[in-house]
Amino acid sequence: MELVKLTDYLWEIPRHGAMRVPGRIFANERMIDELRDDPALTQVANVATLPGIVGHSLAMPDIHWGYGFPIGGVAAIDAAHGVISPGGVGYDINCGVRLMRTDLTYREVLPRSEQLADRLFNTIPAGVGSEGAIPGLGLNELAELLKDGVYWAMRQGYASRHDLEHIENGGRLDTAVPDKVSTFAYKRGHKQLGTLGSGNHFLEVSRVDEVYDSAAADALGLKSGNVTVLIHSGSRGLGHQTCDDYLRLIGEAMVKYGIELPDRQLAAVPINSPEGQDYLSAMAAAANFAWCNRQVIMHLSRQAFGEAMGLGLEDLGFQLIYDVCHNIAKFEEHEIDGRMRKVCVHRKGATRAFGPGHPELPEKLRSLGQPVLIPGDMGRYSFVLLGTPGAMSTTFGSSCHGAGRLMSRVRAKREARGRDLIAELRAMGVTVRSQTRAGISEEMPAAYKDVAEVVEVMEAAGVTKRVARLKPFVVIKG
């Protein structure tokens, strides 16, 4: 595939064939050399064929192959005349990351890291099909949760007003219609609230290892040497089933609307069609479930910290910094070709990164820009970034979402054979707990790109700026 170098950190796939706009990939020279024969680039070009797409089909430096859209893909679709594609959101609707700070120092917590790991692992269910953190919800109660998001959690005592103010969209999409979620999706999700799940989902206890912007770090409550908690989880079986249900429905409906696309996994219908509106309503409900899921996990992790450290909850200084989603479609206004347009921004494995002053940001954070939380692998480091004005002009206010895989899960398990990964991680200063050794093998550090290089590309391209680096020392995996 032809690639044109625009800058040291930006490459373009020129329009060809059925592409309606060019494709653009944020990457450095070394990354692009590795990508040249990757099918994810074909997916960038395929996304550019979607009816109503504007600007460019975008890919972040953590790009890798996904379902329909590449993971790390971003597309803005005209809200009045374009389409909605579940492949541009993904199966794990509103998979996302939340970061909490504490008043505890690394020196205080390190001697109790084994006890903390055990307490977290025993408190927060993880793994395939995990359930039990919260007793199974009745259908009526689950419907309330799907409609109200974290407001439901606040009524149940799992959230505070402060939490609502530090979650993207306040932890609730008000377009949710619980009736648009299938009964089967309800059944899959009603026992999974407050569970990590499996795959790349995790809870990570870290220390603030390096501060790059002291003023911004102070404003966020990040202090060098202090302990933080990072949660990565999503909408579990409810979101997966919702995506599956609507991929089937939308795939069948495409013929009715005369939509032809180069990949059936891109299945799409007009945003304003009945099928498109139903999907958006169900997607919002699943997104609300995901926010509640991370909220309850945070509640449980605070309790586990207090028990492991022998401290009262008020002594922990445990407080939410921010929560971002990275598998979602949202209606936003962006300047395109010199004028403001309403678009539906699909972010698949990409994080919103609005710049300073944006009215959708919480008032307390508005002058900083949106916090962008970028987990790496479980052995090295994660990063806290801020969105910049450059993100608004080049990426529809979007950034990368993580390190991005280098190896498939099958290859990672093969490469891990005969190795004691738990001992290797211990040598890196990381205590890990997992339901299975296979879960650790699939997620070993070597299976991922170096997230520092991914973050460097985003900063060099003017999309985000670094605030702090976090170094993990306790990791809970599914």
Q: Which of 170, 456, 108, 148 is nearest to 309 (CA)?
A: 108
**Contact criterion met (CB below 8 Å) for 291 and 340:** no
Residue 47 C-beta-side C-alpha neighbours within 13 Å: 40
- C-alpha pair distances (Å), 222 with each of 115, 322, 466: 24, 12, 13
In angstroms, rounded to a whole number, what is the distance separating the alpha carbons of residues 97 and 88? 18
Lookup result for tokens 């903390």: 116
Q: What angle do CA 163, 164, 170 make, to 5 degrees?
A: 140
Sign for the pseudo-dihedral over CA of 206, 208, 212, 213: positive
Question: In this structure, are residues 353 and 334 in contact, taking their beta carbons and an 8 Å threshold?
Answer: no
Six token digits for residue 2: 């032809």
Cα 464 from Cα 87, distance rounded (Å): 26
Token pair recorded at residue 111: 């001697």
Is residue 190 flagged as an active site residue?
no
Distance CA 434, CA 415 (A): 19
Strands 464-477 and 382-387: antiparallel
Annotated active-site residue in 201, 240, 346, 401: 401
On whether the CB atoms of residues 26 and 36 are closer than 8 A, the answer is no
Question: Which CA distances in Å does 367 have to 216, 319, 321?
Answer: 10, 20, 15
Largest distance between two CA atoms of the chain = 64
- Please list, in sequence order, all residues whose beta carbon lies within 8 angstroms of the beta carbon of residue 435, skipping any fewer than 6 positions away: 126, 127, 128, 130, 198, 477, 478
DSSP string, 176-223: --GGGS-HHHHHHHTT-TT---STT-EEEEEEEEEES-HHHHHHHT--
Rounded Cα gap, residues 69 and 61, in angstroms: 14
Question: What positions carry a catalytic annotation?
Answer: 401
